[in-house]
Structure 1
Amino acid sequence: MNDLVLTNARIVLDDGVIHGTLIVGDGVIRQVDEGSTRAPNAIDCEGDYIIPGLIELHTDNLEKHLMPRAGVLWPAIPAVLTHDAQVVAAGITTVFDALSVGDVEEESVRIDTLRSTYDAILEGQATGALRADHWIHLRCELAYPRLLETLEPLMHHRSVRLISLMDHTPGQRQYRDIEQYRKYYSKNHMTWTEDEFTEVVKRRTEQQAHYSTRHENAVLAMIHGRDMVLASHDDTDAQQVDHARSIGVTISEFPTTQEAADAAHARGLSTVMGAPNVVRGGSHSGNVAALELARTDRLDMLSSDYVPASLLHGAFMLHQHAGWSMPKAMATVSRNPAKALGFDDRGALKAGMRADVVRMRDVGGLPIVRNVWVKGQWAF
């Protein structure tokens, strides 16, 4: 008997949406057919959508579970388990947990919790405690003085598949407006007088000049010959995109301007934008709106970033508000990230693929996740 039969469903395929039946056996999609079945083990989906399990390539969601309240550190394993439950409930079946290796500020929860979080993710994998398929995305803060000694011990596990190069120095990229830098860190209860802030910017700029280029070269040497994908972060202009392409970057994460997104498209980089940007109708920090990039066909993938539930919501809004077909919209959270990350076993609903499947209902324009299966096993 088949493990799973989903019928009377609107099944989102690569090239269209059919009313049909999806059949799973031994964790793999065996068959996708038009029409319904009366098989006794079939689940009547009542006309709900069936979509591929979502693939998340950059989520910081775990951080809020590691520090649920300012100054309160939570044990890493319970934090990872809570994060895992939340992402699965959002329809995410493959998740790249983004762990920041370093920070521009010395006193940072990211620095304090990096190793324990990394170990907790691997322990969750090894014990079978996690519902989603977890991978690791190491975010390298190039101006962080201790980057290399911190990064090297983390590089050797097979789950490390994505590396991104970041530089959050005030005065460029995400913080080209240095007041945005000040505003962001003031949310973390950091305050400076005018003289103190001027000194901070000066010190950060000097730190970047001393470390960033040589750290970038060292990271590139470290990943040479490894099966890893390289991403840039917060590209702002065509020159930064050109540099990224020249060093082997294939993913442009969160370009901050239309110019950068145009350049990434022209040079064959896959562009990922934040799904919260789509849901909120714009960037929280004044950068280019993701919907604008969608309307100019400069958007390839979405990331939930800091709100797991935004991933499906954002993709559905591309269908509703950017005029994209359902297959094209859902590809931003399934097929396209699968391709960008080198997966050929997931991201689409067709025979032979992993049975990572989401049942979703449109309720007044809001996509509601009703059930999730990971490799054919019920997870939500």
Structure 2
Amino acid sequence: MTAPTSDVILDRMMSLHPKVIDLTLGRMARLLPRLGDPQLRLPPVIHVAGTNGKGSTQAMLRAGIEAAGQSAHAYTSPHLARFHERIRVAGEILAEPELAALLAECESANAGEDITFFEITTCAAFLAFARTPADWTLLEVGLGGRWDATNVIGRPKLSIITPVSPDHQQYLGETLVEIADAKAGIIKRGVPCVVGPQPPEAMAVIEAEADARAAPLLVRGQHWMCWAERGRMVFQDETGLLDLPLPNLPGPHQIDNAGAALAALRHLGFDEAACEAAVTRAHWPGRMQRLRHGPLAAAAPRAELWLDGGHNPAGGRAVAATLAAMPARATHLVVGMLNTKDVAGYLAPLAEVADSLHAVSIPGERNTLPADATAEAARAAGFAATISAGVAEAVAEIVAAEPEARILICGSLYLAGHVLRENG
């Protein structure tokens, strides 16, 4: 009999719990011992939480670690094109046979009991990481922190909290204080924590948690600084000053993400060459990614085509700042969003930097915001908005009027994933 593929097993795993998200560590505590407690046998862990910038910061950490000749496991979510992207073992995306076998093992050990998709797949990642040697383990929190499935790690080597802002309020709480409390839950007793720029109320929560756990903080503005100067990036901490190239990941917000990664690398003893590689060699698809190949690019040969998966107000501000820093060019957005997001908050800053918006629904996504609702929200934000049948149609409509336009496809990681799959 042919063994089931990972897609078949993943589909079954989606039905193991009536809720997609149910924040608790109880089910992890039940399943992990059945798997031999792989979370206790991981290489040193760097645990990353925050609302925005987690993935970029982790990508920079991995680039720096690998440039130093060391290896790192990396766990991220959500994926864009394929689930396999979530689990990178010693630098390599987990291959299909190994992934299918791991998932089947976790499914068997779980024996049909309630468990969320993210929880059981996180167990699979831990199992993969525990069985393959590496120097480091990079864990990105899925949602929140305190009750996230990744937070079964008792004593990481280092924690990182990137900027905290409103998102996922239906799970984490309506106030910034509640959201920051969830993120600060990754802080462990005595374990240093690098902290990116925070609103004052979030910083107060993080400081209180760190005080309660006697965890040293390395805070931007207190223990390290970073800024752009004359086309370069300057980083300074108690060790000294680094004069580096600007991050290769586009956008002014990547300066702070790079700063957090550099603060972590310097604390862990990595040298200047590793730090430079962190900011110049990181790769993180779907975050202000230039699309130069594939059917979409071929259909718009004179246009400048970009893709970004940001989806909350902070993400909208970051994208707007990135567009504002680019050379002047007619700019048009193709936007698809989920109905669980703050659409008005995301669109408001973008209305200042874009000339029009084409609204689309996200194909195959049950929680997509209908294109007409996105267009209505865009008009309320001040956009000249139209509805398009899909991304390819929107791009064709834009280049028919302005062949050399700058086009940004944005609003959701799910839309970004669809574009990457369809565009090769």
TM-score, normalising length: structure 1:
0.28
Structure with the bigger percentage of strand: 1
Structure with the bigger percentage of helix: 2
